A and B are shown apart, each in its own frame.
Chain A
Amino acid sequence: MVRFENVGMRYGTGPEVLRDVSFTVAPGAFAFLTGPSGAGKSSLLRLMYLAQRPSRGLISLFGTDIATAPRHSLPALRRRIGVVFQDFRLLDHLSALDNVALPLRIAGARESEVRSHVVDLLRWVGLGDQIDARPATLSGGQKQRVAIARAVIAKPALLLADEPTGNVDDAIALRLLYLFETLNKMGTTVVIATHSDGLVRRFRHSVIRIRDGETVFEPAGHADVAG
């Protein structure tokens, strides 16, 4: 599903923020990406959701070598990846429904199907009564769930979440993690970036630990993450 081999990354002409990163996430795996703030978690995620190309090394996503893939082939790969951004990145001028519908509309889904699918999903994440609400009127937790709904509406093969529990209280954080586990059980490969060791210990999934731009893998008894 995801394979990094000796990957290095730098922004512009700056120093390398990631060095010799190597790991593999198998299809259907659930993995935490963890490490202290500033360690490079977000940079690693940016490589995984194709916001950035590596400056060296090999990244393979769904069997495609990202370094050599032509630019026009990347949107199709991105549509197989759902991303929950740390700052949600909801579009303020759109309702919850239209925010969640974006990936379907981008994929060219028929408008008649879009609404029913989105409404069902918003109900599933507990926002059935906020369908027409604009992000500005939603609480942090509600925005988070809209962002998650948008990330999973197109049934992505890979779900990436950047600090999804960073802005919510512990109870909501636990609920979100259970939600991700449910999605994982439905076949989605999940990688969650978090600096919360508590969550990592509690859920006992595979761990990619990153420190000073270098990764250490911790299978923790699982075979689905390997270095």
Chain B
Amino acid sequence: MFGREILGNKAGLPLRDDSAGRFLPWFVALMVYLAALALAGALIAAEAGRDWRQALTGALTVELPPAPAGAPKAAAEVERLLESLRAAPGVAAAELVGPDRMRALLAPWLGADAAVEDLPLPRLIEVALAAGAAPDLDLLRRQIADIAPEARLDDHGAWLGALLRTARGIEILALILVAVAGAAAIWTVVFTTRTRLETHRASIELLHLIGAQDSYIARQFQFQALLVGLAGGIGGLLPAALTVLLLGAVTGGADFGLLPEVALTWQGWAALACLAPAAALVAMATARLVVLRTLGKLP
């Protein structure tokens, strides 16, 4: 019932019609747009970090120097290595990377038709670990060194660490942007609410003198702020969602190697959707606090 009175401007303050808040929905929309893009970036970076960790922590690579031409001993060495690795605890599979797979791995740099057989490339053994397994890498290294002293075991630790630090950095930067956009929106609501309090000072004093509780006056401000926050939130969220979808569509067909795909999971979309009600609730709470704090100074 009170909402209807406020919408009809009958509760005492014509907040709906004043000019102080005219640009507030646009500003909130802009901040929500920026926050949504930053949040999408944070979510995509977090998802990429998870993918990288999943892809690289479940695998090891054994690297051998290129085989000298016509060296049957080298092939036997690889066979012994494979047998030893497959027998090691925690190892699910171990396979030599063949020419086709090697060509596919190098295709982004050398092209699909590269004659990899003619290149002095190291030989690689891909080792897949059993789910949840944490093999003793020192023991594995000793086993490998016994068979092929020149082989090197790569657990991707340094590579993965750098990737995850990058992803985490992007996440933190994006979340800082979300916080900055939120703070800017809050500051604008504070400023607008103070302006409105000044604009309607005479009416507020009248309501106060005829017995209005502070909360009666605050409700009118917070209801308007809720509507403005919701309008701005939806107004910023929809273009942000379109931007994410558009970026996903534009970059979807391209292979960027390690760069993540611009796409959100359903949880990511849900988090983004929460920005609109969050903007509305934050605007409402901010307006309420500012009004109650100001009215508290009246006798």
Bound together, the chains give a CA A83 to CA B269 distance in angstroms of 55
- Knowing A50-B299, A51-B299, the reply to whether A103 touches B14 (Cβ < 8 A) is no
B207 at interface (Cβ–Cβ under 8 A)?
A: yes
Q: Which of B9, B205, B210 contacts A103 (CB 8 A)?
A: B210
Contact in complex: B11, A78 (CB < 8 Å): no
Contact in complex: A93, B209 (CB < 8 Å): no
Contact in complex: B12, A102 (CB < 8 Å): yes
Interface centre among A79, A91, A98, by most chain B C-beta atoms within 10 angstroms, is A91
- Knowing A51-B299, A53-B299, A111-B1, the reply to whether A89 touches B202 (Cβ < 8 A) is yes
Q: Which of B9, B10, B296, B299 contacts A101 (CB 8 A)?
A: B10
Of chain B, the residue at the smallest CB distance from A95 is: B10
B120 at interface (Cβ–Cβ under 8 A)?
A: no
5 interchain residue pairs of minimum CB distance = A79-B211, A78-B211, A93-B14, A106-B212, A75-B211
Bound together, the chains give a CA A71 to CA B208 distance in angstroms of 12
Which residues of B have CB within 8 Å of A53?
A: 299
Bound together, the chains give a CA A93 to CA B206 distance in angstroms of 14
Contact in complex: A89, B299 (CB < 8 Å): no
Q: Which of B5, B209, B213 contacts A50 (CB 8 A)?
A: B209
Bound together, the chains give a CA A138 to CA B211 distance in angstroms of 25
B216 at interface (Cβ–Cβ under 8 A)?
A: yes
A74 at interface (Cβ–Cβ under 8 A)?
A: yes
Of chain B, the residue at the smallest CB distance from A78 is: B211
B251 at interface (Cβ–Cβ under 8 A)?
A: no
- Knowing A50-B299, A111-B1, the reply to whether A91 touches B212 (Cβ < 8 A) is no
16 sample A-B contacts, Cβ–Cβ < 8 Å, listed by A number: A49-B209, A50-B299, A51-B209, A51-B299, A52-B299, A71-B296, A75-B213, A83-B210, A89-B202, A94-B12, A102-B207, A102-B210, A103-B211, A105-B12, A106-B213, A111-B5
- The digit string for B3-15, where 1 denotes a CB below 8 A from any CB of A, is 0010001111010
Tell me, rounded to whole Å, the shortest Cβ–Cβ distance linking A85 to chain B: 8
Of chain A, the residue at the smallest CB distance from B216 is: A106
- The digit string for A99-125, where 1 denotes a CB below 8 A from any CB of B, is 001110111000100000000000000
Which residues of A have CB within 8 Å of B212?
A: 75, 106
Q: Which residues of chain B have a CB within 8 Å of any CB of chain A?
A: 1, 5, 9-12, 14, 17, 202-203, 205-213, 216, 296, 299
Of chain B, the residue at the smallest CB distance from A51 is: B209
A171 at interface (Cβ–Cβ under 8 A)?
A: no
Bound together, the chains give a CA A154 to CA B208 distance in angstroms of 15
Q: Which residues of chain A have a CB within 8 Å of any CB of chain B?
A: 49-53, 71-72, 74-76, 78-79, 81, 83, 89, 91, 93-94, 98, 101-103, 105-107, 111, 150, 154
Which residues of B have CB within 8 Å of A150?
A: 210
Which residues of A have CB within 8 Å of B202?
A: 89
Contact in complex: A93, B17 (CB < 8 Å): yes
Contact in complex: A83, B209 (CB < 8 Å): yes
- Knowing A93-B9, A93-B14, A93-B17, the reply to whether A106 touches B207 (Cβ < 8 A) is yes
- Knowing A53-B299, A89-B206, the reply to whether A94 touches B10 (Cβ < 8 A) is yes
Interface centre among B11, B203, B208, B299, by most chain A C-beta atoms within 10 angstroms, is B299
Tell me, rounded to whole Å, the shortest Cβ–Cβ distance linking B238 to chain A: 33
- Knowing A105-B5, A111-B1, the reply to whether A78 touches B210 (Cβ < 8 A) is yes
Of chain A, the residue at the smallest CB distance from B212 is: A106
Tell me, rounded to whole Å, the shortest Cβ–Cβ distance linking A25 to chain B: 19
Given contacts A76-B211, A78-B210, A89-B206, 8 further A-B pairs with CB under 8 A are A49-B209, A50-B299, A52-B299, A71-B296, A78-B209, A89-B202, A91-B206, A106-B212
Tell me, rounded to whole Å, the shortest Cβ–Cβ distance linking B1 to chain A: 6
